[in-house]
Structure 1
Amino acid sequence: MPSRPARRSDVLAYESAGAGEPLLLIHGIGHRRQAWHPVVDRLAEHHEVFLVDLPGHGESPAHVTDGRSPRQALIEPLEEFMAAAGLERPHVVGNSLGALISLEMSKHGLARSVTAISPAGFWRNDVEFAYVRALFASVIATSEVLKPVAPWLMRHRWGRTLGLSWLTARPTAIPSEVAYADLCNMLDSKQAVRDIIRGGYLFDGAVPADVPITIAWGSKDRVLRPYQAGQARVRLPGARHVELPGCGHVPMADDPDLIADTILATTQDTSTHLRRTA
């Protein structure tokens, strides 16, 4: 999908495509709405698709807590955006932090269905979460050092492999200009990343029984390791649990057809409220 100029609500920057039941796509921490571009065309054949930049990311305003809890600071901007855009209970798809947000939205009656791809909030203990904190701190520090040579680095397949293999299983599938823009976005959003990670929490697993939910996990996820899918199965036994073979933490460019098919299988569940376990 070619990049389009962002549209702005009073809350978030976004873009949209297609027609049909609304589908809201929420990216992960340190990323931006363009992460979904590899799958948007397929999804737009069936849905009106909305891609948003989270607060403090992409072209959206800063992430501000204003004394709100971490949950409220994540959910309320999306709720305000939906009200401004006239979206009533869209299908919601999220990756990483966005997947945690999508699950929280289901608890608040804001989602018609949820596809959560490698959701945050399913680590087992503080030690595992410490790994996530250390990983992002390391990536931000390395990106700051490499930024002066990043345009040259990302032109090369080996450079994208070096810079992006922690995030995706097929880093060479990311165009060089997109890879460089993603690196710049990570640095621009670093304060939001730090604030959000500081307020990280476990998802409690309480979701409505009438919302179809799919939990999908890449088999090569190096950020939220695939064993966390087992925790998701325990906390969300009524969800549909699927593996994404050969996919990393941000899998949309790893296997666009598989990701689109996984999402569409969930959105089509709403007619029967079918709930499955693997």
Structure 2
Amino acid sequence: MAATVSFPLPSAHGPRAVTVSYARRGHGEPLLLLHGIGHHRQAWDPVMDILATERDVIAVDLPGCGASPGLPDGLPYNLTTEVHALGALCEALGIEHPHVAGNSMGGLLALELGRAQLVRSVTALAPAGFWTPAERRYAFTVLAAMRRAARSMPLPVVERLSHTAAGRTVLTSTIYAHPGRRSPEAVVAETLALAQAEGFTESLRAGTSVRFTDDVAGLPVTVAWGTRDLVLVSRQGVRAKRFIPQARLIRLPGCGHVPMNDDPALVARVILDGSR
């Protein structure tokens, strides 16, 4: 079941209340799950039940995504705000130093939380920030095109396409290597999430100046990349390993940019192994 929690964040105009929607299940050490830009917490549904057998799993809708409202005036969509918000979220939920796993932008946030020593382990699936300028421009062009397509399609068209494997390929093959495995309901929901994400444009704009070039010292780090990633090409994983030399670098054979749906068992094992 989904829940919400609110907490104050400082801004130039005084404290502002931020509200975040999340789903929580399982028992064990806490594990925070962070999705990518324009996505929502349901991206983690394929692995939630597996992870919940060993972890207290908290899947978050980042501010301005999914069921979480946008950030209030005075709070920009940038890494500093997002990291502060996630730290405040953990404090509000009574979670101290969780494990964290993130995908794409969520992977970058997971690494930032690790760099700030706010978590006990990091698993980053195709994290943003290890691009060259040309690779970043390509990725942002792809993401912006996906957003335009999602916003331009009437809901009946999305629903009709979602009910065939070919239609799901049209809608989601950019992020999934096996789009036909995604359920029609999930495809409709994530297309709407992309179209309606309040924070998309500002987050994308803030990302133009982002590169992750620091080490993450003192805690276990896993970086995993799908071999069929069409958004952030897998050679960026090798670059990540150079910046974070102690990290485990893992290939996810046959997986796309959002690998949780392509191979749930493999991705869950990578996350659990990284958090042990």
- Assess same fold via TM > 0.5: yes
Q: Give how far 1:207 is off.
A: 1.3
Alignment match, 1:137: 144
C-alpha distance in 1 between matches for 2:74 and 2:204:
16
Q: Give how far 1:205 is off.
A: 2.1
Letter in 1 for 2:261: A
Q: Give how far 1:237 is off.
A: 1.0
Q: How does 1:50-69 map to 2 (within 5 A)?
A: 50-64=58-72, 66=74
| 1:28 alignment partner, SS class | coil
Q: Cα distance 1:14–1:67, how it changes in 2: closer, same or farther (>3 A)?
A: closer
C-alpha distance in 2 between matches for 1:229 and 1:206:
14
Alignment match, 2:119: 111
Alignment match, 1:193: 200
Report Cα offsets for 1:173-193 as digits up to 9, x if no partner.
Answer: 11001100100000100x411
C-alpha distance in 2 between matches for 1:82 and 1:15:
13
Letter in 1 for 2:169: T
Alignment match, 1:39: 47
Alignment match, 1:247: 255
Alignment match, 1:128: 135
Q: Give how far 1:163 is off.
A: 1.1
Letter in 1 for 2:237: A
Letter in 1 for 2:154: K
1:225 pairs with 229, 233, 237, which one?
A: 233
2:31 pairs with 3, 23, 28, which one?
A: 23
Q: Show structure 2 runs of 5+ residues with no match.
A: 7-18
Q: Cα distance 1:106–1:256, how it changes in 2: closer, same or farther (>3 A)?
A: same
Whose strand fraction is larger, Structure 1's or Structure 2's?
Answer: 2
2:173 pairs with 161, 165, 169, which one?
A: 165
Alignment match, 1:271: none
Contact preservation (8 Å) 1:65, 1:73: no
Alignment match, 2:88: 80
Identity %: 39
Q: What TM-score do the two structures reach when normalised by structure 2?
A: 0.91
C-alpha distance in 2 between matches for 1:75 and 1:232:
20
Q: Cα distance 1:65–1:260, how it changes in 2: closer, same or farther (>3 A)?
A: farther
Alignment match, 1:237: 245
Report Cα offsets for 1:97-153 as digits up to 9, x if no partner.
Answer: 00000000011111110000000000022x221112211121111122323411111
Q: Show structure 1 runs of 5+ residues with no match.
A: 269-278
Letter in 1 for 2:4: R
Report Cα offsets for 1:186-216 as digits up to 9, x if no partner.
Answer: 0100x411111111100122312x2100000
Letter in 2 for 1:221: D
Letter in 2 for 1:224: L
| 2:160 alignment partner, SS class | helix
Deviation beyond 3 Å, 4+ runs, structure 1: none
Aligned residues: 261
Contact preservation (8 Å) 1:102, 1:114: yes
Q: Give how far 1:70 is off.
A: 2.2
Q: What TM-score do the two structures reach when normalised by structure 1?
A: 0.91
